[in-house]
Structure formats: C-alpha cells, structure tokens
A and B are shown apart, each in its own frame.
Chain A
Amino acid sequence: MSVLLEHSSMHRARPLVFAAALALVAAACTSGGSLSTGDQEGSFTGSDGVASSVSDTSRIVTLSGDLTEFVYELGAGSAVVATDITTVHPQEAALLPKVGIGRFLSTEAVLAQNPTLVIGDTQTGPQSAIDQIRAAGVPVVILDTSTTFSSMYAKIGQLGEILDAGAEAEALTDQLRRDVAEAGAVNPPSQESPSIAYVYTRGPDVMLLFGNDMVTNPVIAAAGARDAGALSGVNGSIPVTPEALIAAAPDIIVVPSEGLETLGGIDGLLGIPGIAQTPAGASGYILAYPEGDFLTLGPRVAESVAALTNDLRDLGVIP
C-alpha cells in the first residue's frame, strides 16, 4: 500500500533554494533579548547582546519567514518594505522585494530598501554584513531562532515590545497556545508512539535528516509522534546517508511536497537508497507538506500541527 497525502488546504510555498533549508539549522540559543529597563526608551537588547535603539518602525526589513508573519499578525505589516526569501506568507509580504537569504545577507541589498529597522534571528549572517548595516546607522535586532513553542511565544513577546504592540502579542500568544493544544494529539508521545523522520529534499542531490533543535521537532511532538532524527542523535540536520536512515528506522517519513515533486513523486523517493529499507518505505507511509508552511514556526503553526495530526489519525497510528 502506498499512501500519499498532499495538502491542498495549505498554502503552496514558493520553491526555496537549498540555502534556505540550511538557514533552518538552528543553533541552541539560551540568551533571550529584552527591553532593558533604565536605558533610554526604545532600546532593545537582542540575543546577540547588542543593544539597538529602535525609535522608528516605519520601514521594516524582516530576515526570516516566521518573523515576517509575526510582524504582520501584530499589525505592523504595512511597515514591512522587504523580506528575505523564506517569506512565503501572507500574500502581500510574499510579493515584497527580497533582499536575499537571511543567512547569506548582502549588506547593500538590505540598505537599498532604506530601512529604519531590520529584524533578524540568530541564523542571520554573516556577522560582517550585520556590522556593516549597523555601521550605516540602521538598527539590526537579532532575536532567538525558535525551535520550541516556548521560545516562539517568547519571541512574540519581544516583537510586541519592539513594535509597541504588547497587548496584541499577548493575545496572539494565548490564541496560539489554545490552537496548538486543540490541533495536536490527545496523548503526548510515548515509547509506543510512531516515529517520524523529517527528510528535507530538493531532489536526489540534497537530502537532509532533521533532528533536535529544528523547527520540525516541536510540531512532530505536538502531533503525538516521536522524532526519529532526534532519537538517533541528530542535532540540527545531517546529510542523509542510507545507513543513517535505516538506523533511524522511521515509521513515517515526512518530506517537503516541492522536493517530492522534483524526485518524481513517491516512486522517485522510494528509489533513493535507504528509503525503501525503512519501515516507512516498506509500508509507504510518506507524508508531504509545502516547506514554506511546515518549516515555519510562525503564526500558522497550528495548521501544520493539525495537518500532521489528522494524517497520523488517518493512517491509524495515533488515537
């Protein structure tokens, strides 16, 4: 049996380049940012420890898809003048000029938008570009790259402070907490829960197994499943080798729908060495979601959780 579920209900993502996937390889982050008390008003200390004076939020450049979506949700969307290429939602943001890839920033592409505020995360780089933009007098606020729900909620709070939208941030956080709880599985993952390997692919030459500290990790857990990559000790992402996949022995494999298309559908995926030898490959339990949706730990995350949970229920692997 071969089960393939594509989700037309979710927004179709633009194809992203491979680098965008690398941009999702999150580093473990501990230090959160805060509006320092006692400082002048509008001074925000980011996750990189740099205090930026944010006085003008009329022209914002966002450097990650989740940041863009949160800024829109907090009511400051009309001030966003450009984004990086990982922004696919909302529609009006997707149509804005792109300044490149957040992780491989071009100083001039950002400055050309004449921004008054640049919002990035700990994945934004290179540091020299951030330094140059700051040297040109434009504040660059660096937030945590969230790979857990709690750090995502903290990030919403920080954006609320920066954008002077504290009440909106609180309301959004409450709403998301409820939505995620409602969308997710009844039971938290246990030893008996199915294991899911998220395999990022852009075609046969680009195959990455995601694990801990990745945006997919909390979504898999919320859907009541175990993360096969994390269980086999993968931190961030590693290039897939047949051995690594067989060792991870996932019951289900999740891939981006764009990548599955490039591979020529499910048969193409099963032709990749190692895939067919996993329990998921043997049973044909392959799920695919557009990467711009599934790989964004943003305001639409409850939709991703709901989609995965419902598909796992349809497969009969969770109650």
Chain B
Amino acid sequence: MTLTQTSRAALWFLAASVLLLVVIGASLSLGAVNISITEVLSWATGQSPDGSLSGRVLSGVRLPRTLAAVAVGAALAASGAALQGIQRTPVVDAHLMGISGAAGLGVAIGYTIAPTGASSQTAVLLGVVTGIGYGLLSRRFTAANSGSLVGVLVGIGAGLALMAWTGLFVLLVDSADVPTLSFFIFGSLSGASWALVAMAVPLVVASVAVLWWMGPGLDLLALGERASMQLGFDVRRRVPLALAAIGVAVGASVALGGVIGFVGLIVPLTIRPLLGSVNRLMIPASAIGGAIIVVAFDILARTLAAPIEIPIGLLTASVGGPVLVWLIRRETA
C-alpha cells in the first residue's frame, strides 16, 4: 500500500468519524421534545440537572435509540461488505440474501415464547439463532452460484417467503407482546430500549470484529474459491464462520430495529470507489458508513411527519431500490 493510499484512508476514517459524531449529536438533539445541542453537551458532560425533562428524554429514550441505530447500521453495512466478498458480487446484502427475513421470523417467535420479563433477551437470542441457521443453510443453495446473480435471486425468493411466513405468524399469534407487521417489513427503531441495546450491541461489536479479522481471507475469495483455497484460505471452515458472524450481526440488528433493507447494499457501494476492495478497510469503513446512514435516516423517520413516525425501511428502500436497479443493469451490461 502506497503512502497516498494510506493517507487517503486515514483521511476518510477521520472525516467519517466526525460525520458520525455530528449525526449522533443531531439524533440526540432532534425530536418532539425540544433539546438544544448545548443541553445535549451539558448532559453528556454530566452537568445537566437531575430529573430534568431533557435529561430523562436523553438517557431514557434518545440515547438507547441512537445507540441502536449506530449498531444496526454498522451490522448491516459490515455484513453487506462481507457478503459481497463471499458471493463475489456487489449486488447482495443480508436483506437480499434473506438473512434479515429469517432473523425477523426468529425475533417474532422470540417475542411470542419469551418468559415474562425477558422478552428483549429472548427476541435477540432467537433472532441470532435463526440468523446463523439461515446463514449456514444459505451456503448450501448459493455456493454453486457465487459470482452470479442467480444466488442473489435464490436469496430474494427465500427472503420473500420468510417475510410472508413472519407476517402470517404475527397476524395469527395476534399478541400485544409481538411488534407490528410493519416492524418486520420496514423496520423501526422506536422500540429501542436499554434491555435490547445491552443484549444486542455487544453481539454486533463482536461479530463485526470477527468479520474484520477475517478480512484478508475474504479478499482471497475474490479470486474464486478454488484459487483462494490453493492460497491457504480454508474455505470450508472460514466461509461458514463468516456467515455465522453475519447471522449474529443481522439477527441482533433485526431485534433492535426490525427488517431494514438496502443499507448493506448502498454503503459498501459508496465506499469501495474511495477506499478500494481491501476488506480490512472496507469492513470497518462500512460499519461507520452504515452507522451514519441509519442514524441519519432514523432522524428523518421520526421528524418528517412528527409525531407520527415513518418506518425507516421505507426511506432506505426509496433510495436503495433505484440503486439496486442501476447496479443490476451495470453488472449485467
């Protein structure tokens, strides 16, 4: 790596980190309760008077929600970057592969069977378990098609079926303990609680770290599975490990914010021209980029039509759908 590339990457990470802090500040400040950025800063430095309305809103509602948005964005975008390496195509993410749909079904079941007082934990657990299970299973029916759009189409079909099953499940169970159908189709961060965040965020951090650690191996996959095996990458063990890590990240993110599409597609797509395809850079950069995008879209989701919230997935799909069309045309041209 030349010096210019290194400094360019350093500059990118610096700028992205600043931007992330800015959107986090905006996310804490904006909402139905008027809280100025000065109040946010004095609260963050512990100078806010005890029991004040803004303090209670910040620590009880907006901080867990903002942390959830950061984690969801990081999980989806880092998973997207890793999946694109595994499938050897930029036209894929956890949503298109059906992993989000599978995790959604797990989360819905988790809320249904959860013992009293442990609904968040059970939902995260079941989301992660189904995410891993489906991630590993998907390997069976997409491995032969890696590098082509056929594998993605298989994933889309499976994802649509899983979403339909989740919908049927939610409507038939008809329980107040289970989030609404909209949560499992278009997502929402409005239910983010400390219980969810405490369970899901560490899982996201750990799984993104695993993906980052596997970065060089994922780079080799770009040469094809046979070639990368000859270069010493244990495809049979490492690819399932990566898919399991993706299952954990996506399962935790779906428990936090429901099924939100296209984040894993758009973010790596935007970053790759700037930083190149080296996964040791792409995966952390995608995590930061994804966090920025989801926090920003969540701000729009709860302010555009306040006090009514727009499902965040409607916003990401509004942008992501056209990008997908453009991407497929480019790939098949």
What residues make up the interface of A, taking CB atoms closer than 8 Å to B? Answer: 99-100, 104, 106-109, 111-112, 114, 125-129, 131-132, 135-137
Main secondary structure of the interface of B (DSSP, over half): loop
A131 to B196, CA, bound (A): 13
Contact residue among A108, A127, A137 (Cβ-Cβ distance under 8 Å from B32): A108
Q: B57 contacts which chain A residues (CB < 8 A)?
A: 108, 111, 136
Contact A108 B307 (CB under 8 A): yes
Stretch at the interface among B134-142, B176-184, B214-222, B224-232: B176-184
Residue on B nearest A104 in the bound complex, by CB: B308
Structural contact, B33 and A106, CB atoms closer than 8 A: no
Residues of chain B within 8 A of A106, CB atoms compared = 32, 190, 302, 306-309
Complex alpha-carbon distance, A111 and B306, angstroms: 14
Give the CA-CA distance A256 to B176 in the complex, in Å: 28
Query: When A106-B32, A106-B306, A127-B176 are in contact, do A111 and B53 touch as well, CB less than 8 Å?
Result: yes
Q: Which of B31, B32, B60, B179 is in CB contact (< 8 Å) with A126?
A: B179
Residue of B nearest to A105 (CB): B307
- CB of B296 to closest CB in A, whole Å: 18
- Is B49 located at the chain interface by the 8 A CB criterion? no
Q: Which residues of B contact A107 (CB under 8 A)?
A: 61, 190
Q: Does chain A have a CB within 8 A of B46?
A: no
A-B contact pairs, 19 of them (CB 8 A): A104-B308, A106-B190, A106-B308, A108-B31, A108-B33, A108-B57, A108-B302, A109-B306, A111-B33, A112-B32, A112-B33, A125-B176, A126-B179, A126-B191, A127-B176, A129-B191, A135-B193, A135-B194, A137-B60
Residues of A near B308 (CB, < 8 A) are: 100, 104, 106
- What is the bound-complex CA distance between A108 and B177, given in angstroms? 21
Interface size class of B (residues with CB under 8 A): 20 to 34
Residues of B within 8 A of A128 (CB): 179, 190-191, 193
Set of chain A residues within 8 Å of B309, measured between Cβ atoms: 106
B307 touches A132 (CB 8 A): no
Query: How many Å lie between the Cα of A108 and that of B60 in the bound state?
Result: 11
Residues in B lying within 8 Å of A, measured CB to CB: 31-34, 51, 53, 56-57, 60-61, 176-177, 179-180, 190-191, 193-194, 302, 306-309
Task: Among B51, B56, B179, find the residue whose CB has the most chain A CB atoms closer than 10 A.
Answer: B56
Least CB distance, A223 to chain B, in whole angstroms = 31
Q: What are the nearest 8 A-B pairs in CB distance?
A: A109-B307, A128-B191, A108-B32, A106-B307, A136-B56, A136-B60, A135-B60, A112-B32
A108 partner residues in chain B, CB cutoff 8 A: 31-33, 57, 61, 302, 307
A-B contact sample (20 more), CB < 8 A, given A108-B32, A127-B176, A136-B61: A99-B307, A106-B306, A106-B309, A108-B31, A108-B307, A111-B32, A111-B53, A111-B56, A111-B57, A112-B33, A125-B176, A126-B179, A126-B190, A126-B191, A128-B191, A129-B191, A131-B193, A132-B193, A136-B60, A137-B51
- Bound state CA distance, A114 and B33, in angstroms? 9
Question: Measured between alpha carbons, how far is A48 from B308 in the docked complex, in Å?
Answer: 25
Q: Which residues of A contact B60 (CB under 8 A)?
A: 132, 135-137
Q: Across the interface, which residues of A come within 8 angstroms of B61, CB to CB?
A: 107-108, 111, 132, 135-136
Chain A min CB distance to B287 (Å): 26
Cα(A250)–Cα(B302), bound, Å: 44
The CA-CA distance from A191 to B57 in the complex, in Å, is 57
| Residue of B with least CB distance to A107 | B61
Query: Across the interface, which residues of B come within 8 angstroms of A109, CB to CB?
Result: 32, 306-307
In the bound assembly, the distance between CA atoms of A114 and B35 in angstroms comes to: 13
- Distance in angstroms between the alpha carbons of A125 and B176 in the assembled complex: 8
CA distance A125 to B60 in the complex (A): 18
Closest chain B CB from A30 CB (angstroms): 15
Q: What is the CB-to-nearest-CB distance from A98 to chain B, in angstroms, rounded to a whole number? A: 8
Instruction: A112 to B177: give the CA distance in the assembly, Å.
Output: 26
How far apart are the CA atoms of A100 and B180 in the complex, in Å?
18
Chain B CB within 10 Å, residue with most, of A104, A107, A126, A131: A107
Across-interface contacts of A136 in B (CB, < 8 A):
56-57, 60-61
Alpha-carbon separation in the docked complex, A131 to B179 (Å):
14
Q: Please, which residues of chain A bring their CB within 8 A of the CB of B33?
A: 108, 111-112
User: How far apart sit A114 and B52, CA to CA, in the bound complex (Å)?
Assistant: 10
Closest to A128 in B: B191
Chain B residues in 8 Å Cβ range of A111: 32-33, 53, 56-57, 61
Chain A residue at minimum C-beta to C-beta distance from B119: A127
In angstroms, how far is the closest chain A Cβ from the Cβ of B103? 18
Q: Which of B32, B51, B180, B302 has the most CB of A within 10 A?
A: B32
**Which residues from A are CB-within-8-Å of B177?**
127
**Whose C-beta in chain B lies nearest to the C-beta of A135?**
B60
Shortest distance between the CB of B134 and any CB in chain A (Å): 26
Residues of A within 8 A of B306 (CB): 106, 109
CB-contact partner of B53 in A114, A129, A131, under 8 A: A114
**Complex Cα–Cα for A317 and B223 (A):** 84
How far is it, in angstroms, between the C-alpha of A99 and the C-alpha of B61 when the chains are bound?
16
**A99, A111, A131, A137: most-surrounded residue (chain B CB, <10 A):** A111
